[in-house]
Amino acid sequence: MRWRCTISTLVFCVAAASMLINACNKKDVEKGTTSVSFEVPAGFPQPVYDFSKNPLTREGIALGRQLFYDGILSKDGQTPCASCHQQFAAFATFDHDLSHGVDNGFTTRNAQALSNLAWQQSFHHDGGILNLETQPLAPLTAANEMGETVAGVVAKLKGSGKYQQAFRDAFGEGEITSQKMLKALTQFMVTLVSANSKYDQVKRGTTSFTIAEQAGYATFKAKCASCHQEPLFTDGSFRNNGIGINPFLNDGGRIRITRNAADSLKFQVPSLRNVDLSFPYMHDGRFYTLQQVLTHYRTGIQQTPNLDPALQFGISLSNTEASNVLAFLKTLTDSAFVKDPRFAAP
């Protein structure tokens, strides 16, 4: 459902284009919940997530937010979802190449930034999860991530008076189940919409690029946008970008899911939204700066099997072009998103 803006609310509509519109909330008397409509930002396609199977409610979102930040979902009680997905880092892992798991251990990949998940059709670097509602099960049950079992989590939630009430508020009477837990987490995660960066404001006509940003945007569209397509800044595909194998991790990427040799060393193209905040980069966090990333594409491509044809000769960028592209990429930072109190720890 879209919010129809009158002239008097037009300015507010544009500024809040990516937000959940509380003015459209409706009370479900039977369930005692307040429904929340999802606003599609201007210029964005329709989401692929099916909201009809998990309608957003104020209570469901609140429960999901609480769960996202609570170590109760992990074996050691100290490793919530938010320990790897930190808001100030665009819900990525700040400053660590590999994310940390339970008992001060390390995972085998760099946690992906979280935003605009309602438009995403597969999850994880290798696309091994196809449903946002089941995605949390992978980190929750992985021994080197949250280290729990589904039964163990549900038992802890059932034993918590706080969660007993929160689940009743969100889903009505009935027992706490893993399905309800996953639906609540999903409701919170789909609200993580980032669409108010300087780039978005330029597109809406409320501000302008600098000369360097405009030049960088032109270069980006000519040399980068085939993979990082606007407005999501990813095409969702899996590609071998020539970084080669990490001998310590020996991570073959999508081949681990498909068992197809043609998918060796292919990883999902990440969104570049908030990319200036979500370092380090690549599935193994090998690059700590955007300059290093551009240097890789300019001169560091390894001629590995299945290398994306578009990268066979690297990406030709002069020093000036590279500098301008960096200036443009910084316009994808959504400061309101990473400071929004609705997404912070409750």
**Residue 233: both structure tokens together:** 């800044």
Whether residue 280 has a cis bond before it, omega within 30° of 0: yes
How remote is the C-alpha of 170 from its chain's centroid? 24
Q: What is the DSSP string of 35-73?
A: EEEEPPPTTPPPPSS-GGGS--BHHHHHHHHHHHT-GGG
**Residue 127: both structure tokens together:** 């696309």
Residue 136: other Cβ atoms inside 10 A: 25
Percentages of the chain per state (helix, strand, coil), in multiples of 5 = 40, 10, 50
Query: Could you tell me which residues are annotated as the binding site for heme c?
Result: 81, 84-85, 224, 227-228
- Contact status, residue 285 vs residue 110, Cβ threshold 8 Å: yes
Per the listing, tokens 């819900």 go with 91
**Residue 104: both structure tokens together:** 């001060």
Cα-based torsion angle of the residue sequence 118, 254, 250, 300 in order, rounded to the nearest 10 degrees:
-80
- Contact status, residue 62 vs residue 346, Cβ threshold 8 Å: yes
Per the listing, tokens 């009477």 go with 173
What are the beta bridge partners of residue 239?
Answer: 267
Amino acid code (one letter) for 101: G
Q: At what angle do helices 161-171 and 150-158 cross, to 10 degrees?
A: 100
34 closest CA partner among 5, 64, 55: 55
Query: Could you tell me which residues are annotated as the binding site?
Result: 81, 84-85, 224, 227-228
Angstrom CA distances, 28 to 24, 62, 171, stand at 13, 16, 11
Three-state DSSP at 325 gives: helix
**Residue 85: both structure tokens together:** 């997905």
Amino acid code (one letter) for 2: R
